[in-house]
Amino acid sequence: MNKIYASAAELVLKAGQFIRQESLHSNDIVIEEKDRNSLVSYVDKQAEQMLVEGLLKLIPDAGLITEEDTTDITGREWEWIIDPLDGTTNFLHDIPAYSVSVGLRHNEQLVMGFVYEVNRAELFSALKGDGAKMNNRAIHISKRAPLANALMATGFPYTDFSGINAYMDSLRHLMQCCRGLRRMGSAAVDLAYVANGRFDGFFEHGLNPWDVAGGIIIIQEAGGMVSDFGGGDNYLFGRQIIASSPQIHQELLDCVGKRFLEH
């Protein structure tokens, strides 16, 4: 596992370096719209192809769950979950918050994760049982509490607006009850920043597994908690996630989770 971890980290860095190079002429990149407000470019597709080819050399019979549909092989003992460019809209508008996110599952349990924030050249990573790191230095979750002292991150709905009323209720409450709210535009970056203690918590509705797989295990290995809005464990495929320090997790469930469940 240590050899796979080291080799996968190199592949993630290589994909990030390719994205960084292409960002130098982002104004010339041809954009496709997959769905409303869901954008993709050749950069996403080429970065994903690089990752798929490299990761399959590490575990040849692994399954793959990928954002840009390079391939889709599920139900295997090992599964890579890949987002080659999380924050494509930021990338295309030259806003410096986008990342490469990769997670590895073994028998449906996350065992390895990477989030590479391209602009700051920060590689967040975790191997199950070995703690979380940022550029090979150990990182830990924030201990700030209660929620009144917490800096929160979230993402706004951009394709699925079914939970917008619950979102507005949650934001209205949090604006008055926490230190501040941030919206970076890359869920993978948000999760990595929670793991590193920059943010104290994060929630979002409507995410896909490739948005969160890399970050989930990094948070867990950094000492944080991850749940769905009901406090359960359906956060990878359930399209809802709350991630935070243990000290404020229940407060977030009471604030955010309750409002979504009520709606």
What confidence score (pLDDT) does residue 30 get? Answer: 58
Q: 90-104, 154-168, 203-217 — which is least confidently predicted?
A: 154-168
Helices (H), 129-185: 164-177
Q: pLDDT: is 262 or 172 the higher one? A: 172
Q: Is residue 100 within a helix (H) or strand (E), and if so which, with residue range?
A: strand 99-106
pLDDT band at 178 (very low <50, low <70, confident <90, very high): very high
**The length of the chain, given as a count of residues:** 263
Cα 118 to chain centroid, rounded: 14
User: Domain residue spans in the chain?
Assistant: 2-139, 147-262
The overall pTM is greater than 0.85: yes
- State yes or no: pLDDT of 199 exceeds 90: yes
Q: Is 59 helix (H, G, I), strand (E, B) or coil?
A: coil
For helices 187-195 and 209-221, angle between their N-to-C axes, nearest 10 degrees: 0
Span 115-165, pLDDT tens digits: 999 999 999 999 999 999 999 999 999 999 999 999 999 998 777 788 788
Span 12-48, pLDDT tens digits: 999 999 999 988 876 666 566 555 534 557 888 899 9
Q: What is the CATH number of domain 147-262?
A: 3.40.190.80
At the topology level, CATH places domain 2-139 in Fructose-1,6-Bisphosphatase; Chain A, domain 1 (3.30.540)
pLDDT band at 263 (very low <50, low <70, confident <90, very high): low
Tell me the backbone φ, ψ of residue 82, rounded to 5 degrees. Answer: -125, 125
Q: Residue 204: what residue type?
A: E
CA–CA separation, 174 vs 154, rounded Å? Answer: 11
Q: pLDDT: is 56 or 92 the higher one? A: 56
* Percent of the chain with pLDDT strictly greater than 70: 92
- State yes or no: pLDDT of 226 exceeds 50: yes
Are the C-beta atoms of residues 23 and 118 closer than 8 Å to each other? yes
Tell me the backbone φ, ψ of residue 73, rounded to 5 degrees. Answer: -125, 110
* Percent of the chain with pLDDT strictly greater than 90: 74
- Supply 239's token pair: 């399209």
Q: Is 121 helix (H, G, I), strand (E, B) or coil?
A: coil
Tell me the β-bridge partners of 72. Answer: 65
What confidence score (pLDDT) does residue 161 get? Answer: 81
